[in-house]
Copies of this chain bind each other. A is one copy, B any other.
Amino acid sequence: MSIIHNPEIIGKKRRLASLSETSGRFSMLAIDQRQSLRKMLSSQTGQAPESVPEESLELVKRVITSRLAHKASAILTDPFMGYATTWEFIPGSTGILLSLEQTGYSTVNKGERLTRLLSDWSVEKALLAGADGIKLLIWYDKHASSAVLEHQMGLVQSTGEACYRHAIPFVLEVVCYSSDEISATGPEYAQKKAVRVIDAASEFSDPRYRVDLLKLEFPGNLKYVKEFQSRSFHGGSVIHDLSEIRDFCRSVNEASRVPWVILSAGVEPEEFIEAIQLCNDAGASGFLCGRAVWQDVIRHFPDLAAMERYLETTATGAFDLILTANKNAVPWQQHKHFK
């Protein structure tokens, strides 16, 4: 009789299957925003960010989840304002990814960023609550002080161990920054960004972190690509050409020893679709995006009927285009890590 020698390995893969489409492609929708959603609501309502009531955030999370969850291979949400009030809207066939970290970061040493875990929450509790995967966001500047690096890498490692013990996939989001720079979106950052994303992929796919899937930034900035000068999302300056961008994407894929997906960082759908196709062509396994799909819902807040209408028409249309663009994603089962 065959014995299940390693239920942990089967469990991880089984839960990765729950997070992905049947094809093995990831088409995951994020609605775990807290601070950024608060700011969006603040702009819309004129309230100070800290005065935006939690009920407003919960309402937005609920209406987005109820209208879009069925189209996603998984929903990424935060446990308290998100999952606790939206879980009933997530179909059984859509996977659940729960975030582990507090929103934002603590700043130390003039601009170095520390990720903090949510209190009263853990990998164990997420599994108990029905999660199919755990997401941790880590701020990463390889030139940060060794105390900060140790803290950040220690968090990744202990989360990786807890996920391994419980046979639950570990999705690590790495957001690169540099404490001595002001803008992470301007043209002067675009070139540096590619190098940092490649470094991050190499570092955090090391087996000691036990990461199963990396959620990465786009390695470069499509707003400054020569071939996209006529596109609505173009930013004016030209920093890259497309072949350089393709090289960056390939380098990310070569650097990463585990499957990876691309995040949207709130760019418009038209730009995100280009990003997805470029990454998937280089070997990515799909996307995990949020604001690129639903951000304009905030413009209709607090008119619930208008929010629903926007989600059912414009946002659904954008998501459908993104899903079509994702057809060339590499199924995670075909990644060298799982062969």
Nearest Cβ distance between residue A24 and chain B, in whole angstroms? 9
Known: A4-B79, A4-B83, A54-B2. A14 touches B129 (CB 8 A): yes
Contact pick for A19, options B2, B20, B73, B92, CB 8 Å: B92
Closest to A54 in B: B1
Known: A3-B120, A19-B92. A8 touches B84 (CB 8 A): no
- In chain A between 1 and 38, which residues have their CB closer than 8 angstroms to a CB of chain B? 1-4, 7-8, 10-11, 13-22
What residues of chain B lie closer than 8 Å to A15, measured between beta carbons?
130
Closest to A94 in B: B93
**Docked pose: A5 CA to B16 CA in angstroms:** 27
A46 at the interface (CB under 8 A from B): no
**Docked pose: A85 CA to B54 CA in angstroms:** 47
What residues of chain B lie closer than 8 Å to A4, measured between beta carbons?
79-80, 83-84, 125, 129
**Docked pose: A90 CA to B13 CA in angstroms:** 11
Contact pick for A80, options B3, B16, B96, CB 8 Å: B3
- Asked whether B2 lies within 8 Å of A58 as measured between CB atoms, the reply is yes
Cβ proximity bits A77-99 to B, threshold 8 Å, 1 near / 0 not: 00111011101101111011000
What residues of chain B lie closer than 8 Å to A90, measured between beta carbons?
14, 17
Number of copies: 2
Interface size on A, residues (CB 8 A): 45
**Docked pose: A70 CA to B58 CA in angstroms:** 34
A182 at the interface (CB under 8 A from B): no
- In chain A between 63 and 115, which residues have their CB closer than 8 angstroms to a CB of chain B? 70, 73, 79-81, 83-85, 87-88, 90-93, 95-96
A147 at the interface (CB under 8 A from B): no
Known: A129-B11, A130-B10. A80 touches B2 (CB 8 A): yes
Nearest Cβ distance between residue A92 and chain B, in whole angstroms? 3
- Asked whether A22 lies within 8 Å of B85 as measured between CB atoms, the reply is no
**Docked pose: A84 CA to B20 CA in angstroms:** 21
A166 at the interface (CB under 8 A from B): yes
What residues of chain B lie closer than 8 Å to A134, measured between beta carbons?
none
**Docked pose: A315 CA to B93 CA in angstroms:** 24
**Docked pose: A108 CA to B22 CA in angstroms:** 47
**Docked pose: A149 CA to B237 CA in angstroms:** 80
- Asked whether B1 lies within 8 Å of A80 as measured between CB atoms, the reply is yes
What residues of chain B lie closer than 8 Å to A70, measured between beta carbons?
22
What residues of chain B lie closer than 8 Å to A96, measured between beta carbons?
14
> Which of A14, A15, A166 gathers most chain B CB within 10 Å?
A14
**Docked pose: A7 CA to B19 CA in angstroms:** 20
**Docked pose: A17 CA to B125 CA in angstroms:** 19
A-B contact pairs, 19 of them (CB 8 A): A1-B80, A2-B54, A2-B58, A2-B80, A2-B84, A4-B79, A7-B126, A7-B128, A11-B130, A14-B90, A14-B96, A14-B130, A17-B90, A18-B93, A22-B91, A92-B93, A92-B95, A127-B127, A128-B167
Task: A14-B87, A14-B92, A128-B166 are known; give 6 further A-B pairs, CB within 8 A.
Answer: A2-B81, A10-B83, A13-B88, A14-B129, A17-B90, A18-B93
Interface residues of A (CB under 8 A from B): 1-4, 7-8, 10-11, 13-22, 54, 58, 70, 73, 79-81, 83-85, 87-88, 90-93, 95-96, 120, 125-130, 166-167
